[in-house]
Structure 1
Amino acid sequence: MSRNKSHYVCQLCGTSHPKWAGRCEGCGEWNSLVEEALVSTPGGLKKTSGAKGRTLEFQSLEGQSQPLPRRVSGIAEFDRVAGGGLVPGSAVLVGGDPGIGKSTLLLQAVAALSTGGDAVSCLYISGEEAIDQVRLRARRLGLEKAPVGLASATSVRDIAASLESIEAPGVVVIDSIQTMFVDNLDSAPGTVAQVRASAQALIKLAKERGFSLILVGHVTKEGVIAGPKVLEHMVDAVLTFEGERGHQFRILRATKNRFGATDEIGVFEMTDRGLEEVANPSALFLADRKGEVSGAAVFAGMEGTRPVLVEVQALVSASPMATPRRAVVGWDSARLSMVLAVLEARCGLMLGGKEVYLNVAGGLKVSEPACDLAVAAALISAASDNPVPDDCVVFGEIGLSGEVRAVGQSEARLKEAEKLGFTSAILPAARGRQAKGASKLQRREIGHLRDLVALIAGRAPQRRLEEA
């Protein structure tokens, strides 16, 4: 006989606790446990019960598999991040800050899927907006003629009944999963239990009916997708939509993809007609460069399989305060502190009493260690007031002893730079018999950070340079 109990569930990771505690044992977060009702049934699997499981048939690793079918939208940047298109029966989670353009992107995607060469039936179910609001957005984007079915609902039971009563659609968008609720749970929409149960029911239905499911997820103030972490494990792909309100660029990034490559990005530009894909993001990020200016260096980076060139800007100024400021936009502040420490300890540049400002132009967030050398070049250029040549790209990883380490996919970076008109590159020394590719760029190989200081500052650095 079942009886009602209550347990305490962490609102961040979903870990269940029998009693309240100040700290979650699963993720270590404080004050994140909320009481939720639980209907428990006694016992587990019993041999005496009438139900008997079926015997599994195991297969060997060797064998041939058919390539996965794809539903291609025709939006090249979206299809690239999705791994070549949406797989039937798959579930994709799309997260991003409020107002960044998630609903706009998905409305454009389903409109393209419903009107393309391989047109499929598409449904857009909104739990946050009324149908008239979605129609207004579609009219602004010029998509009002697209044969997309619209509905406004928050009950998972109603959505499941509607999808089962019609012919199986090709793509279904749920905007957003935090507004959905399952009526047999007492908790409010948006809680861990409701998000988990709603996503599980919708994913199960998608795999049974064979349609591609796209779930929109809210993000917390820390930038992670709200709800339990298990939500990201339940879906087949997790896409994050990034960008700054002050920039027109938007980055669609794949952090998980069971049917394609991870760390792939798609670049879009926000216009009054919606999101427009950017085929060559490097040219767009470098469009506003002002020639040879001190404190700027061009970094040749990799985002997934795509080489991307961005400008790294640095400003070093005297500080009137006892504790100088360190402001970073688009890069890791801890890694900037490491580069500054290496420049001071290994190269003699006294930057500890200076204010340092670092910015990655264009709103792109760079997490690659290969950006170390470009950051160091921008800092040295700003401190010495000697510009880095405007036709030169820089990349490489810096170690704590000041050595410059090689990074992967150097030839792809150099070919992208050559395509955009760059003629030289500052890069790590080749390891062993590493063969040089077909790139015709003039290469300046750097083995230690002191060589970079001498190259940019125009003089060999001393062990410790005193401030003027």
Structure 2
Amino acid sequence: MAKSTTHFVCTECGWSGPKWYGRCPECGQWGTVEEFHEARPTSSSRSSSTGRVSRTKAMSSVSANARPITEVGTEDASRVSTGFEEFDRVLGGGIVAGSVVLVAGEPGIGKSTLLLETAGNIARGIPDQPLLYISGEESQAQVRMRASRVNAMEPNLLLAATTDLATALGLIEDRRPSLAIVDSAQTITSQDIDGIPGGSTQVREVAGALIDSAKTLNIPVMLVGHVTKDGSIAGPRTLEHLVDVVCQFDGDAQTSLRLLHAAKNRFGPTDEVGCFDMSGEGIQEVNDPSGLFLSPDDTAVEGTCVTFTLDGHRSLPIEIQALVTSSVLPSPRRATSGIDTNRLAMLMAVLYRHGGVNLLANDVYVSTIAGGVAKEPACDLAIVAALASAASSAPVPRTSCAIGEISLTGQVRPVPQLAHRLAEAARMGFTRAIVPVTRGRAGVRSHPGLEVIEVTTLRDALEALGMQGSTNRRRTGSSR
């Protein structure tokens, strides 16, 4: 067996040392330091098992390949479209040749389905080149059943079921596919390295070997990654540093909406988000998700208010719904969905102190619809407006929206990228927007058909929404 060097590695920050600690001396996290066995296989075993030369011998040819940066072309850095505009947007325009993309998410969220459909789209677009899908979790028959369900049956899409790293590398080197998908990185193991499947030692070796093959053969590789119970990617934190792109695929398991974020991207922005709809026939992209988070009925209903939140470059409307009832409990009930409970308690206190609406003795229920998330501070004004509307039985007009953060002093504070939010509100047909006063008026540009009302305090905002009569407010940006 190959000799191994034992040291201890923090799975959170990557710190390593010769001694175990209950608390990482670098990042301060508890219980993240694990024993790591770094095996040193011989060059003969490495070359015989994987068909590749050892890393030590490869170093001798580095100087021969070094060229001035001005003479390096970009022909080899071409991109391959995934067949999903939303996926391409998150990746920065497509999959870069020779790159390694890690797609992580909770169990059952749809990672394998997304990548299998992506493989089918690419295989359909380039029928003269093979694609390779390596599954370490399912058999070929199981993958074939899903492929027939999501319409990914293409003759040049090759399926393989193995958990051996040497076999996977041999398939990639032999077939030279236009894209290789490995599902998942935690199930592939190396026979030359000690450690359990999914452990730090195995995951690091598997990722390093696949990255070597991707860079050497200029073949893009997509990895499926598991996540822990707290939502972080399983395995050592260095896995995220090694790959080129890290995508998080998440969503509410009780709804069909799925969101794809880029946590790391060496070839594009990290503030893009892709929207998908999960159904029994597979995953479909949603090019305009604006209508997903709003009620289909245009009739004004008490206890509702619409705001606009940012997710990357996208501005999405979120409908806040509130229900206020008399409480028969010693401690009134507070229930939320899609909204932070502590934030709601703070806003109710501010509404009582600075808005004159007392809900402290009532049962309060606040929710979003369609799995939307309203945890951004810019949603504060809409939450308060929905609460005041439910308490006074005065509905907010469906053509009005509220955007702004509320401080403990009752002031309505500015929010980032207000102009972007107002542009989306105007595009969707809203006619009135209650917003905070913006310094320099940079965010309150003229939007056709949208009347922008600037307010400075919570009382001004409630009066602008018709909840109570009050003091000064400034009407600006009317361009009707």
Same fold (TM over 0.5): yes
Q: Aligned partners of 1:427, 1:147: CA distance in 2, in Å?
A: 54
* Counterpart-to-counterpart distance in 1, 2:411 and 2:449: 26
Unaligned runs of 5+ in 2: 42-58, 472-480
In the other structure, the counterpart of 2:194 is 186
Conserved 8 A contact 1:72-1:113: yes
Q: 1:72 aligns with which of 56, 81, 98?
A: 81
CA contact (8 A) 1:14 1:192 kept: no
Q: Does 1:277 align with 2:305?
A: no
Aligned partner (choices 403, 408, 416) of residue 400 of structure 1 = 408
Judged with a 3 Å threshold, the aligned counterparts in structure 2 of structure 1 residues 261 and 439 are, in CA distance, closer, same or farther, namely: farther
Aligned to 1:124: 133
1:110 to 115, 119, 134: 119
Which shows bigger deviation, 265-274 or 392-401? 392-401
Is it true that 1:161 corresponds to 2:173 in the alignment?
no
> 2:56: which partner in 1?
none
The match for 2:30 is 30
Alignment partner of 2:258 out of 250, 255, 266 = 250
How much has 1:128 moved relative to structure 2?
A: 0.5
1:220 counterpart = 2:250:
no
Aligned amino acid, residue 130 of structure 2: S
Deviation at residue 320 of structure 1 after TM alignment: 4.0
In structure 2, do the counterparts of structure 1 residues 367 and 454 end up closer, same or farther at CA, with 3 Å as the change threshold? same
The amino acid across from 2:112 in the alignment is S
- Superposed, which structure 2 residues align to 1:6-45 within 5 Å? 6-39=6-39
Partner of 2:142 in structure 1?
Answer: 133
C-alpha displacement of 1:151: 0.7
Residues 103 and 223, structure 2, Cα contact 8 Å, conserved in 1: yes
1:99 and 1:319 map into 2 onto residues whose CA distance is 39
Q: C-alpha displacement at 1:3, in angstroms?
A: 6.3
The SS at the match of 2:409 is coil
Aligned twin of 1:45: none
* 1:390 aligned onto 2:398: yes
Residue 72 of structure 1: CA displacement? 1.0
CA distance in 2: counterparts of 1:420 and 1:275, whole angstroms: 26
1:206 aligns with 2:222: no
Deviation at 1:38, TM superposition (A): 4.2
Aligned partner of 2:446 in structure 1 is: 437
Instruction: Label 1:163 to 1:448 Cα distance change in 2 as closer, same or farther (>3 A).
Output: same
Equivalent in the alignment of 1:47: none
Deviation, 1:25, is 2.8
Contact 2:248/2:260, CA 8 A, preserved across alignment: yes
Specify the SS of the correspondent of 1:344: helix
Provide the rounded CA distance (Å) in 2 between the counterparts of 1:119 and 1:429: 59
Distance 1:52 1:205 in 2: 17
Paired with 1:431 and 1:88, the residues of 2 have a C-alpha distance of 45
Residues 35, 129 of structure 1: alpha-carbon distance in 2 compared, 3 angstrom cutoff: same
**CA deviation string 1:357-386 (max 9, x = no partner):** 332211133453322222222222223332
RMSD: 3.2
The answer for the alignment partner of 2:312 in structure 1 is: 304
TM-score (norm 1): 0.86
Gap change, CA 1:236 and 1:401, over 3 Å in 2: farther
CA distance in 2, matches of 1:437, 1:115: 46
Q: CA deviation at 1:56?
A: 12
Residue among 110, 115, 123 paired with 1:101: 110
Change in CA separation of 1:40 and 1:81 when aligned onto 2, cut-off 3 Å: closer
Q: Measure the CA separation in 2 of the matches of 1:378 and 1:59.
A: 62
For 2:134 and 2:440, how far apart are their aligned partners in 1? 57
Task: State the Cα deviation string for residues 142-188 of structure 1 (Å, max 9, x = none).
Answer: 2223521111111222211222233x322111111111122222110
Q: Is the 8 A contact 2:39 2:193 kept in 1?
A: no
Question: What percent of counterpart residues are identical?
Answer: 43
- Cα 1:293–1:86 shift into 2, 3 Å: same
Alpha-carbon separation, structure 2, partners of 1:4 and 1:65: 41
Matches of residues 251-400 of structure 1 in structure 2 within 5 Å? 251-289=259-297, 291-400=299-408
**CA 1:346/1:438 → structure 2, altered by over 3 Å: closer, same or farther?**
closer
| CA distance 1:39–1:256, shift in 2 (3 Å) | closer
Distance 2:404 2:262 in 1: 24
CA distance in 2, matches of 1:55, 1:339: 65
- In structure 1, stretches of 5+ residues that fail to align are 42-49, 463-468
2:99 paired with 1:84:
no
- Secondary structure of the equivalent of 1:432? helix
Deviation (angstroms), 1:134: 0.3
- Matched residue type, 1:390: R
Partner secondary structure for residue 186 of structure 2: helix
The C-alpha deviation readout for 1:368-424, integer Å capped at 9, x for no partner, is: 332222222222222333221111122122233322222333333233223323222
User: What secondary structure does 1:187 align onto?
Assistant: coil
Shift of 1:81: 1.4
Q: Secondary structure at the match of 1:386?
A: coil
Distance 1:231 1:322, change over 3 A: farther
Partner of 2:87, secondary structure, is helix
Deviates more, 1:445-454 or 1:318-327: 318-327
Aligned to 1:100, the other structure's residue is in SS state coil
Q: Matched residue of 1:454: which SS?
A: helix
- Could you tell me whether the CA contact under 8 Å between 1:415 and 1:439 is conserved in 2? no
Look up the equivalent residue of 2:411 and give its one-letter code.
E
Give the match for residue 47 of structure 2.
none
More deviation in 209-218 or 13-22? 13-22
Cα separation, 1, equivalents of 2:343 and 2:295: 27
CA contact (8 A) 1:381 1:456 kept: no
CA contact (8 A) 2:129 2:156 kept: no
In structure 2, distance between residues paired with 1:254 and 1:322: 46
Provide the residue aligned with 2:44 in structure 1: none
Which stretch of the first structure deviates more once superposed, 260-269 or 411-420?
A: 411-420
Evaluate the alpha carbon distance shift between residue 433 and residue 370 of structure 1 in structure 2; reply closer, same or farther with a 3 A threshold: closer
Matches of 2:65 and 2:72, distance apart in 1: 20
- 308-317 or 284-293, larger mean C-alpha shift: 284-293
Q: Which amino acid aligns with 2:249?
A: F
Amino acid at match of 1:282: S
Query: Given the two structures, how large is their TM-score scaled by the length of structure 2?
Result: 0.84
Secondary structure at the counterpart of residue 354 of structure 2: helix
Name the counterpart of 1:465.
none
